[in-house]
Homo-oligomer: A and B are copies of this chain.
Amino acid sequence: MGKAIQNEDYLFKKIYDYVLHQIERKEWKEHDKLPSVRQLASEMKVHRLTVLKAYQLLKQHDKVYVKDKAGYFVQSNVTNNLEYLHQNNPIVSAYVQKNHLSEIHQPSVSYHFSQALIDPNLLPNHYFSDYVKKVFDLYPKVLATYSTVQGDLELRETLAQYFINQYKTHLGADDVFITSGSQQAIHLIAQAFIKPRDVVLFERPSYSAAIDIFRAQGAQIVTVDIHPEGYDLEQVEYYIKQYKPRLFYLNPTFHNPTGYTISIEQRKKLVELAEQYRFLLIEDDAYHDIYFDQAPPPPIYTYDSAGTVIYIRSFCKYISPGLRIAAVICPSSLRNALLTVKSLADNGSPLLNQKIFLHYFSSLRLQQHLEKIRIALHIRKEIMEEELAVTGWRWTSPKGGLNLWVELPDKLPPELLLAKSIEQSISFVPGQICDPLKQLSSWIRLSYSYANEKQLREGVKRLVAVAQSLSK
């Protein structure tokens, strides 16, 4: 995909999204006339053909219609993607309650490309019983004791010191918050800072569980496309002015599902925007240490001096997912709100898990383990890419993380491929699940982290064969 094509494609989507948002926000109401092609092209500083192409696709998608030669008009009954839905079941009546990803994982298959998890055989299982024994020797009453709501002080001190060493930023144990996995962190943040109908900015595509969490809280989601080179920051600023989001949930490092990483320049600019327009950046950083060649840029929170970033760092994906421990770095002005929500949710994560994690995290073995994992995942990524090379499918090769984000040809719908793949005992995630607008209809996410090398080769070969049989 050449640079020029991508740029045109990108401007086109910008126009498409803009019109759609105007319609969804009822700025342009049913049967309103859209601006003329010439007028919008001039306003948005793009070529008229780009606007025309966007209008045509909107027509194709039934969002607008053409009336004789009078121009384009807003279609009636356009479903409002921005409005949260409300279930009316008399007993189950909270906001939309769906976890799309967990539904995909339900069928049991032999070739798991839907799981963005690390193969349990790569994890340091055999060391752990040593640390557990150590924890019981050191803290004989660990199971009789509640953790504080914010998390074990010793662990928070260790993590603060780790972040200071890594990024040379000032930090204390008070700034660190322990949650039961990064998913709980996202859930607590949504509960603490989002009321129904608040606007939340999301990358498109994004992490599907986060989409479901914010929707369940009643948020209205506005999306910003993520590209290999980052966001269109003008578009971001435009949306911020237009929609006044309370927060931007983002995953700027080896982004899930695309694998893209945001540059230092964009990181700094995002912090400036957050300070200027007073919204929060929720930086979800689950893959920071899973890089193949070089370490990624420092987290966005390290550029924050005004307390606008909440940073969620999960280590457990590549150490011990079963422990369910994540660290949150939270500005002091927001800490009490999170503490209260956490105290209501579970009154603190289990102390045992925090102490086991602490002792492994503080050990020399961690660095060795990380190096091993990086090599193993790099190899697995390359196996998947080798096996997919014959297909002509398109993806940007990731420099870290656990997934390939793959665009299928038009004639191969992901739903059909998934249905046939599951028959062949292969699972993957259709891209639509990762799209808050549920429209990315030609993409899929393939995780190379869970299956071992042999399963990867076999499974991808099978997947390719399924695709070929469908394309005939």
Contact = CB atoms under 8 A, between A and B. Distances in A.
Total copies of this chain within the assembly = 2
B140 A97 contact: no
A341 B352 CA distance: 25
B191 A94 contact: yes
Nearest to A98: B340
A235 interface: no
A146 B209 CA distance: 16
Contacts of A347: 102, 181, 183, 209
A351 B334 contact: no
A114 interface: no
B120 A192 contact: no
B180 A346 contact: yes
A152 to B, nearest CB: 11
Contacts of A278: 90
B334 A91 contact: yes
Interface string A174-202: 00000011011001000111111010000
Nearest to A350: B324
Nearest to A279: B91
B97 A125 contact: no
A141 B129 contact: no
Nearest to A321: B146
A126 B137 CA distance: 10
A323 B343 contact: no
A402 interface: no
A194 B87 CA distance: 12
A416 interface: no
A322 B143 contact: yes
Nearest to A192: B94
B144 A322 contact: yes
A145 interface: yes
Contacts of A350: 180, 322-324, 350, 353
A345 B184 contact: yes
A322 B99 contact: no
A96 to B, nearest CB: 9
A128 interface: yes
Contact of A323 (B213, B320, B352): B352
A213 to B, nearest CB: 5
Contact of A343 (B102, B180, B198, B333): B102
B212 A344 contact: yes
A236 interface: no
A304 to B, nearest CB: 15
A337 interface: yes
A91 B322 contact: no
A162 interface: no
A316 to B, nearest CB: 9
A284 to B, nearest CB: 14
B340 A99 contact: yes
Contact of A94 (B187, B194, B323, B324): B194
A412 interface: no
A195 B94 contact: yes
B102 A120 contact: no
Most buried by B among A99, A128, A209, A322: A322
Contacts of A322: 142-147, 350-352
A266 B344 CA distance: 30
Interface of A: 90-95, 97-99, 102, 117, 120, 123, 125-126, 128-129, 132-133, 136, 140-147, 149, 180-181, 183-184, 187, 191-196, 198, 209, 212-213, 216, 246, 278, 280, 320-324, 333-334, 336-337, 340-341, 343-347, 349-353, 356
7 tightest A-B CB contacts, nearest first:
A120-B144, A143-B320, A123-B144, A92-B337, A99-B343, A129-B136, A143-B322
23 contacts: A91-B280, A91-B333, A91-B337, A92-B193, A92-B334, A92-B337, A94-B191, A94-B194, A99-B340, A120-B144, A120-B145, A128-B143, A143-B322, A146-B322, A183-B344, A183-B345, A183-B346, A191-B216, A209-B347, A322-B352, A323-B350, A324-B350, A350-B350
Given A144-B322, A145-B321, A187-B345, 8 more contacts: A91-B280, A93-B194, A94-B341, A128-B143, A144-B320, A180-B350, A183-B346, A352-B353
